[in-house]
Amino acid sequence: MHPQTRLTLAGQQTDTAYRSISLPIYQSAIFKFGEDGEKPQFDYSRSGNPTRAALEQTLADLEGGAGAVCVGSGMAAIATVLSLYPAGSHFVCSHDCYGGTERLLSWWERQGKISVTYADLSDPLQLALSLRPETKAVWVETPSNPLLRITDLRRVGSIAKDAGIDFIVDSTFLTPLLQRPIDFGADFVVHSTTKYLNGHSDVVGGAVIARTQEGRDAAFYAANAQGATAVPFDSWLILRGLKTLPLRLKQHEENATAVAHYLQQHDAIETVFYPGLEDHEGHDVAAKQQAGFGGMLSFAVRDGVCLRTLLSSTRVFALAESLGGVESLIEQPATMSHASMRPEAREAAGITDRVVRLSVGIEHIEDLLTDLEQALENGVAAGRRDAQRTHRNGSVVKAEAAHRG
Ligand SMILES: *Cc1c(COP(=O)(O)O)cnc(C)c1O
């Protein structure tokens, strides 16, 4: 069956008592042992819960992995995978990874637990150059956040395999419907299910999908030991969100494509970062390894556009961090989503103050374009007023100086 059909049916067969069509929320911490003292399939919800298990099975199936573990947030998923490696391990990580990933890695590095090399993995040779004897894994985020750089999964996967290190992909931006890293040799895939997988901005969650059963067992051990596993109600909401994922993604991408083309021809915009555009640096690789270009894009405004005004002028796009929900969001990575990154790391990744990130939602495209049009107009007008004021102040200073002189 196709993923769209499998998702529609997901979770249906679990209720043997009443055969409910909707998966029950097993809101129970504990399950009874059998009369003969036999251990039930689930005994305690940190270790296992039927609602969470249905979600895990669905995600593992979509990614083509042996199994999955669902946890309380995307960061919990990332910490779960990273905690599998021994003290002293070295990691190579995409230099423009999610801000929280950089924060976690830097923190453990400051504590002396691990060491990290950040590299621009859109050039896979950078991985080969960054390897050390103690390198245990390469951490790839593609498309990257917020500049949508594309990393060639096949090439990085083959370098990792030759080097005998693990290959881990944060695939949050695309979901398994648009990108399946395990097909390219990834050992672990992580998701913030907060984003597209749930899709309604009402749950924070994460998932680890492992290529092998051994990997799944290790990730489960870590998540259970550290108490990171997801609760039943959130699991149920994410599974419900998944049922409309194919439809949502179609609309996200259609709208993002139209927004990208609109921004590209706008005078106030310097660059548009969207892998679906043919002149995007990673377009060819993205077209090869992805089944779609997704709903995320960024752009850099020209000098002289007042960003504060632009960001506060939108009516449909909400000024907020995060992404992947049905509603459109706008934000400035340097001061919002990526503020937790060290300034040097941010600069190295090219995330300037002039970059704006959009999570394009599923609204009517005309409303999205009208909204951006008026916000850009306001931003340009405010920028012009600021310039005039600076110019006038400059003249006053000069006149005063001349008077004093
Ligand atoms: C949001 C996000 C995370 C972190 O997920 P949380 O659910 O917020 O903990 C990790 N990686 C990427 C790419 C993200 O967008």
Q: Identity (one letter) of the amino acid at 382?
A: A
Polymer length in residues for the chain: 405
The answer to whether 404 is a known catalytic residue is no
- pLDDT value at position 62? 97
To which H or E segment does residue 80 belong? helix 74-82
d(CA 324, CA 376): 23
75 CB near ligand 1 (under 6 Å): yes
Q: What is the pLDDT of residues 327-341, one digit of tens each?
A: 999 999 999 988 877
Q: What is the pLDDT of residues 338-354, one digit of tens each?
A: 887 788 888 888 889 99
d(CA 341, CA 339): 5
Rounded alpha-carbon distances, angstroms, from residue 129 to 163, 168, 169, 399: 11, 18, 19, 58
Q: What is the pLDDT of residues 83-103, one digit of tens each?
A: 999 999 999 999 888 889 999
d(CA 77, CA 157): 21
| Predicted confidence (pLDDT) at residue 393 exceeds the cutoff of 80 | no
73 CB near ligand 1 (under 6 Å): yes
d(CA 299, CA 76): 30
Q: Ligand 1: distance of its center to the CA of 73 in Å? A: 8
Q: What is the largest CA-CA distance in the chain?
A: 102
3 state DSSP class of 249: helix
- pLDDT value at position 267? 95
Q: 146: cis peptide before it, omega within 30°?
A: yes
Q: Ligand 1: distance of its center to the CA of 172 in Å? A: 7
Look up residue 252 and give its two tokens. 């996200």
- pLDDT value at position 392? 79
The answer to whether 98 is a known catalytic residue is yes
Q: 143: cis peptide before it, omega within 30°?
A: yes
pLDDT > 70 in the chain, percent: 97
Q: Which of 325, 321, 327, 401 is nearest to 356 (CA)?
A: 321
The CB-side HSE value for 26 (13 A sphere, CA atoms) comes to 22
DSSP string over 208-244: EEESSHHHHHHHHHHHHHHT-BPPHHHHHHHHHHHTT
- pLDDT value at position 395? 67
With contact defined as beta carbons under 8 Å apart, do 177 and 45 qualify? Answer: no
- pLDDT value at position 398? 59
Long-range contacts of 281-284 (CB under 8 A, 24+ apart): 281/122, 281/149, 281/150, 282/122, 282/143, 282/148, 282/149, 282/150, 282/151, 283/150
195 CB near ligand 1 (under 6 Å): yes
Average pLDDT over residues 203-225: 98
Domain 3-242 has CATH 3.40.640.10: yes
| Predicted confidence (pLDDT) at residue 404 exceeds the cutoff of 70 | no
Q: What is the pLDDT of residues 215-257, one digit of tens each?
A: 999 999 999 999 999 999 999 999 999 999 999 999 999 999 9
Q: Ligand 1: distance of its center to the CA of 336 in Å? A: 14
With contact defined as beta carbons under 8 Å apart, do 217 and 60 qualify? Answer: no
- pLDDT value at position 96? 86
Q: Identity (one letter) of the amino acid at 132?
A: R
Q: Which atom of ligand 1 is nearest to the CA of 172?
A: 13
11 CB near ligand 1 (under 6 Å): no
Q: Which atom of ligand 1 is nearest to the CA of 97?
A: 13
The answer to whether 46 is a known catalytic residue is yes
Question: For the chain, what is the total number of helices (H) and then of strands (E)?
Answer: 14, 12
Cα 131 vs. chain centroid, distance in angstroms?
A: 25
Of the residues 170, 187, 234, 371, only one is catalytic, namely 170
Q: Which of 185, 304, 216, 226 is nearest to 46 (CA)?
A: 226
Q: Which of 341, 394, 384 is nearest to 146 (CA)?
A: 341
| Predicted confidence (pLDDT) at residue 401 exceeds the cutoff of 80 | no
Q: Which CATH class is domain 246-389?
A: alpha beta
Average pLDDT, the chain: 94
Lookup result for tokens 């951490």: 139
Lookup result for tokens 């007042």: 306
Q: Identity (one letter) of the amino acid at 284?
A: D
Q: What is the pLDDT of residues 242-301, one digit of tens each?
A: 999 999 999 999 999 999 999 999 999 999 999 999 999 999 999 999 999 999 999 999
The answer to whether 288 is a known catalytic residue is no
d(CA 80, CA 68): 12
d(CA 207, CA 56): 8
With contact defined as beta carbons under 8 Å apart, do 150 and 275 qualify? Answer: yes
- pLDDT value at position 405? 42
Q: What is the pLDDT of residues 25-69, one digit of tens each?
A: 999 999 999 999 999 999 999 999 999 999 999 999 999 999 999
What residue ranges do the domains of the chain occupy?
Answer: 3-242, 246-389
Q: What is the pLDDT of residues 137-191, one digit of tens each?
A: 999 999 998 999 999 999 999 999 999 999 999 999 999 999 999 999 999 999 9
Q: Ligand 1: distance of its center to the CA of 36 in Å? A: 44
